């Protein structure tokens, strides 16, 4: 049974549409949620949690419809939106003491263990915590109330490389027992190389892919060729491309690469896939 199942989620704003987004996440996995700024990642996460009212679509958590059973299901969810930006001038201990009252399965002992494990000083105020510590604090809260689904909006944004690595290691440790899953949005594609099992990619409010990371990467190749090889057929087959004086570099789906091609074909990484999907080939500077 999927921990999270999103079906046909749609939200219309005047200038933006989150259009028919569907994906699911099984227990014991990490899903990276990628897309450029304004692609709809945060809107999707907010719509899942009902912070934003979707126009249509359904969200199921642990097999139960979220909106019908919101109160109970929120006990199983830990959610962090854009860093832990709540009550910056409040002491961590005071905030926790208020927060824990809302959770039936709160384990104070476990919380104390997480504080010690994460080197979290609960006498500090929230704003005195570093960005990495804020993420760890959010995780400590979620784990202490027995959350099985953790949804984090850009948790690694603004972290130094060491803290980022620590947080990603922590993600792997959290899902290790196979009962919990993490969905996290990020713009740092190396985060996904390090720890994601699945990748969900959204562009301009539409789902591009939601696959196992290896399948996602395996579906694309970088192709390079000379000017003379940049034919109309190749241009049409390319997802996106860059032209140079010497030729072109582009992204192509594996199933559209012509058999026996003379083009140079190389593996694509997540960043390549994102860049070429979003790329519009035009001069960077008008002269």
Partner 1 sequence: MLKDLICKELRLDMHQALWAFLLLAALLLIPQWLYYIAFIYLFILVMVVAQTDKANNNLIFATLLPVRKKDIVTARTWTIVGWELAYIFIAAICAVVRLRLYPENNTASMNTNFAFFGTAFLMYAIFNAIYVPGSYKKPYRMLWPLLGGALISVAVAAILNTLPLVIPAVSTLFNDAGLGHLPYQLAALAVGIAAFACATIWANKKAAANFEMVDL
Residue among 86 and 253 whose Cβ is closer to partner 1: 86
Span from 60-68, 75-83, 163-171, 182-190 in contact with partner 1 (CB under 8 A): 75-83
Around Cβ 156, how many Cβ atoms within 10 Å? 25
Cβ 85 to partner 1 shortest distance, Å: 5
Candidates 68, 85, 173, 254; binder of partner 1 (CB under 8 A) is 85
Candidates 1, 51, 173, 254; binder of partner 1 (CB under 8 A) is 51
Residue 69: φ, ψ to 5°:
-135, 40
Residue 91: DSSP 8-state: B
Residue among 48 and 234 whose Cβ is closer to partner 1: 48
Residue among 38 and 102 whose Cβ is closer to partner 1: 102
User: How distant, in Å, are the alpha carbons of 38, 110, 139, 209 from that of 166?
Assistant: 27, 20, 13, 28
Candidates 81, 202, 270, 274; binder of partner 1 (CB under 8 A) is 81
Q: Are 100 and 68 in contact (CB under 8 A)?
A: no
- Map the footprint of partner 1 across residues 97-136, applying CB under 8 A: 97-99, 101-103
Candidates 75, 125, 157, 256; binder of partner 1 (CB under 8 A) is 75
Helix (H, G, I), strand (E, B) or coil at 64: strand
> What is the distance between the alpha carbons of residues 162 and 168, in angstroms, rounded to a whole number?
10
Establish if 74 lies at the interface with partner 1 (CB under 8 A).
Answer: yes
> What is the distance between the alpha carbons of residues 192 and 151, in angstroms, rounded to a whole number?
15
Candidates 25, 95, 150, 207; binder of partner 1 (CB under 8 A) is 95
Span from 17-25, 80-88, 217-225, 229-237 in contact with partner 1 (CB under 8 A): 80-88
Q: Are 100 and 108 in contact (CB under 8 A)?
A: yes
> What is the distance between the alpha carbons of residues 46 and 53, in angstroms, rounded to a whole number?
8
Cβ 272 to partner 1 shortest distance, Å: 34
**Binding stretches for partner 1 (CB under 8 A):** 46, 49-53, 70-72, 74-75, 79, 81, 85-88, 90, 94-95, 97-99, 101-103
């Amino acid at each position: 049974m999927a921990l999270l199942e999103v079906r046909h989620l749609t939200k219309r704003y005047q200038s933006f549409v989150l259009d028919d987004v569907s994906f699911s996440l099984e227990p014991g996995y990490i899903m990276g949620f990628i897309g450029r700024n304004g692609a709809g990642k945060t809107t999707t996460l907010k719509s899942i949690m009902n912070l934003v009212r979707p126009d249509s679509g359904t969200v199921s958590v642990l097999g139960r419809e979220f909106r019908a059973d919101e109160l109970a299901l929120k006990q199983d969810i830990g959610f962090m939106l854009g860093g832990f930006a709540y009550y910056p001038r409040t002491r961590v201990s005071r905030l926790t003491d208020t927060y824990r009252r809302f959770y039936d399965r709160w384990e104070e002992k476990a919380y104390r263990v997480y504080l010690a494990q994460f080197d979290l000083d609960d006498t500090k105020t929230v704003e005195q915590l570093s960005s990495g510590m804020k993420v760890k604090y959010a995780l400590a809260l979620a784990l202490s109330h027995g959350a099985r689904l953790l949804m984090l909006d850009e948790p690694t944004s603004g972290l130094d490389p060491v803290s980022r690595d620590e947080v990603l290691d922590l993600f792997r440790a959290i899902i290790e027992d196979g009962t919990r899953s993490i969905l996290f949005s990020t713009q740092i594609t190396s985060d996904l190389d390090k720890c994601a099992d699945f990748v969900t990619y959204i562009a301009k409010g539409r789902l591009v892919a939601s696959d196992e990371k290896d399948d996602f990467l395996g579906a694309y190749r970088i192709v390079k060729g000379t000017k003379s090889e940049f034919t109309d057929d190749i241009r049409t087959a390319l997802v996106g491309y860059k032209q140079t004086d010497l030729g072109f570099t582009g992204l192509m789906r594996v199933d559209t690469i012509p058999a026996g091609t003379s083009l140079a074909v190389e593996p694509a990484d997540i960043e390549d896939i994102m860049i070429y999907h979003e790329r519009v080939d035009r001069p960077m500077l008008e002269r």
